[in-house]
Structure 1
Amino acid sequence: MKPGVRLANAFYVMVLPAFLLFFIFHTIPVIQGIYYSFTDSPGYGPANFVGLRNYIALFTDPRVLHAYWFTFLIAAVATVLVNIVSLAIAVGLNGRIKFKNGLRGIYFIPNVLAILVVGYIFNYLFSNSVPALATKIGIDSLSTSLLTKASTAWIAIVILAVWQSAAFNIIIYIAGLQTVPTEMYEASNLDGASAWRQFRSITFPMIAGFFTINMVLSLKGFLQIFDHIVALTGGGPGTDTESVALLIYKGGFQGGEYGYQSANSVIFFIVIVGFSIVQLRVLQRREVEV
């Protein structure tokens, strides 16, 4: 047997186990979920085929519509904030400051912590520490927990989501900043360009590709927000802070709506893919313009 043939066979042998695992634990469940979306299955026992009834009902269900609206709100606000914060920190860490390697490690810590554990810590902070401190200082607006009202609970969720997600974005931006030639900054300094002018004309255009990656991944991740809400509000007060992912979990595994929420999952998958494709194309077009 020729060496090239043996090498090709070795590749197939290495890829086959991963392909089988992916097919068994991902592809098959996805196909099963699509099938159940056309049934009235409660998650156990027999199920009847109902056609498109589940999909039609989704568009008139106020709880589902509110969950989508709330998820879009969280995703939009958190995506913008996390990229502003992480880019600002990355630019600062890329400058000539002391202990920047240590600071990079510190800023990455939130990304390796279990979000549920951190979420319960933030729950305690928002429910006890912040109100107690605000009462002593005399800030009446923060003297009660942010988590008790729907009008403020979403702010707490965004704060936790941005804090936890910024770590990964910072690393991506730092990697992008290291690709910018220092000669360009030196030339701009000779021309008397300000720091903002350097950022707008040199830094941002050079890392536009990294900005696109972070924006797409951030939006996709925040659209699937789940653990943060479970730890902070559990979807309350009532169902005011229920995300789509949390609604699918509650209805599908606790509410006997397995078939109905399977249809919701299919719609949600299409929504996420659609947003990702549109966002990617728009931002890539902007990269060319920049």
Structure 2
Amino acid sequence: MKTIKPYLAALAVVFIWSGWITLSRHGVHSLLQPADITLLRYWTAFLAVSPLILRYPWRRFSMWQYLVVGLGVGFPYTMLSFYGLKVVRAAHAGVLVNGMLPVLGAIAAWLLFRQRIAFHRYAAIGLIFFSNLVMTGGLVFTVDRTAGIILLLIAALCYTFHMTGIRLWHMSWQDVVVIVPMVNVVLFTPMWYFFPSGFSQASLQDMAVQAIYQGVIVNVLALVCVAYAIRHLGTITVSLFMSFVPVTTALLAWIVLGEALQPWEIAGIIGCSAGLLWYSREPKSQALKATQTIKPDRD
């Protein structure tokens, strides 16, 4: 059970993030503005974990460590994503943000941790990245769409900083679930006044749905799962799981909304699945070494 828990945590994040992309796409096309959804997200999370915030040992990490981890999945990430989602479809946004994570995660792991992986795993990452591109079915590069794509790619870079910081400084889920809402409530609340707002026209239902999903499910439950999975599996493996968000988004749309999968989306799903299976295969040398390590002594 100890070995399967981190994988279950990573899998839970995949489904939560799929719902987040869909809900955010809906939210930014309602009367709520990106800044409104961001404010709801972090204030709801702040209130949910406020008892932990009061007891947290704030001298444990430095200020810039708090900023890297807190802002990596904080308002820069959400604002970039929300404005990108205004002009880029949800499924394509999942490809651009989450499909880039294995590549960025592998680069960060090599640069910071000198972590090297077997050649076949680099090839598997490439297959998954290519399969995510196939799922887009071809992007039309208008000026607005190009700007949206750039915003979403920067958001992917922000999220990579967040995941890398967790591993680099050995932060637990208890640290992350406190740091993220605290940092963003303090920094973004005064900034909100300078962005367009639709609070006065938006319905209470829209605000409640965004607050609960963004603030509790995404910013508390998902962050707990991400931090737990990174601590036990590493940045590359968790990034690999996150690259499946476009796949689950397409599948959920087919099951829940009755949207038929296009041929290129089916091809992308098959490619992503093959890439994950390929990545999970242990190199023969490591498998042999592990077998020799646990082999019982016959003397």
Q: Which has the higher contact order (CA 8 A, sep 6+)?
A: 2
Q: TM-score w.r.t. structure 2 length?
A: 0.27
**Of the two, which has the highest radius of gyration?**
1
